[in-house]
Amino acid sequence: MINKKLSKIGFLFSLPTILFFLFFISIPVIFTIVLTFADWKGYDLNQIKFIGFVNFSEVFRDKIFLKSFLNTAIFVGFTTLFLNLFGFIGAMIIDQKVAGARFLKNTIFLPVLLSPIIIGIMWSRMLDAFGVINKILQAAGFIKLPILFLGSSKIALYTVIVATLWQFTGYDMLLYYAGLQGIENHLLEAARIDGATEFKVTTRIIIPTLSPVITITMLLNIIGGFKVFEIVYVMTAGGPNHGSEVLATYLFQQAFRFNNMGFSSVIAMVIVFISLIVSVIRLRVTNREV
């Protein structure tokens, strides 16, 4: 009798979460899957017209989609590489407990706490033709005319990448710093006593020991990179001339500017599919390490 009462109470406490998951996650996901096989402008449910795999063929033949996929891959590649590199270096510096290490740790981690929208606006203002960065470069004599950091299709994507690195390096740094705390000091000291250089200590002991952290951090960066939206949309909106278009911004454009819900649903499924693959890899790696 008591167990039944506890079960009912537990169900009542779980009900809000169940309803939230049902109405805000499960139903939208199922509806999105259905829309991948339909033509719909997003207004009247009675106007949904099922067209089979037409949306899939159109998406994978669309040049802008292919460009946005390539841009997303470039974004993921650069951010994953340099976030891990800078995060590891920052963690190593802080772990040495040099003067000012605590201040450095707080300074690097602070941008992580800010919204990508705020970061995007801030960097857009600094990189404007009359912004502080161009003013500094002109005052130092490096350039005569302002650089259009966000107005050039050749460098806009890489400018957004730099802003992203500035914001999220602290996140990777914190993960690596936590991993460094798990390394036994006597192993490092024994290696140094045996005559190992700091380079060998790092490459032969620290990096191999941190391999689980490195793997998980890289997978998290990849998932986040494929889902990037806010900072790109705020800084460039995918422009100019789709030079910084990524999958999420192109999805937004197709769904809410052109009301092409079926087409945009296929793009959403591509993002979800890639994220699921990386998530499965992450879970398997985590379970294997455990």
Three-state DSSP state, 13:
helix
User: pTM of the entire structure?
Assistant: 0.90
Q: State residue 189's pLDDT score.
A: 83
Task: Parse the chain into domains and list their residue ranges.
Answer: 63-289
Closest to 83 in 3D by CA, of 207, 217, 185, 193: 217
More confident residue, 106 or 59: 59
Structural tokens at position 77: 């590649």
Cα dihedral 97, 103, 108, 111 in deg (nearest 10): 150
Q: CA 248, CA 116: separation in Å to the nearest integer?
A: 14
Q: CA 229, CA 122: separation in Å to the nearest integer?
A: 16
The predicted model gives 150-170 an average pLDDT of: 94
Q: State residue 290's pLDDT score.
A: 46
Residue 9 has pLDDT above 80, yes or no: no
Q: How confident is the model at residue 288 (pLDDT cuts 50, 70, 90)?
A: low
Q: Kindly give, in sequence order, each residue whose CB lies less than 8 Å from that of residue 86, ignoring residues fewer than 6 positions away.
A: 165, 169, 172, 173
Q: State residue 201's pLDDT score.
A: 86
pLDDT, tens digit, 9 for 90 and up, residues 90-106: 999 888 877 777 888 88
Q: State residue 86's pLDDT score.
A: 95
Q: How confident is the model at residue 282 (pLDDT cuts 50, 70, 90)?
A: confident
For 8-12, 39-43, 85-89, 255-259, which range has the lowest pLDDT when averaged over its residues?
8-12
Instruction: State the amino acid at position 189 in one-letter form.
Output: E
The neighbour count for residue 27, using CB atoms within 10 Å, is 11
CATH superfamily of 63-289: MetI-like (1.10.3720.10)
Q: CA 67, CA 246: separation in Å to the nearest integer?
A: 8
pLDDT, tens digit, 9 for 90 and up, residues 234-266: 999 998 999 999 999 999 999 999 999 999 999
Q: Rounded to 5 degrees, what are φ and ψ at 40?
A: -150, 135
Q: State residue 126's pLDDT score.
A: 94
Structural tokens at position 111: 């941008």
Q: How confident is the model at residue 202 (pLDDT cuts 50, 70, 90)?
A: confident
Q: State residue 274's pLDDT score.
A: 92
Q: How confident is the model at residue 26 (pLDDT cuts 50, 70, 90)?
A: confident
For 1-10, 11-20, 33-42, 142-151, which range has the lowest pLDDT when averaged over its residues?
1-10
The predicted model gives 191-211 an average pLDDT of: 86
Residue 122 has pLDDT above 70, yes or no: yes
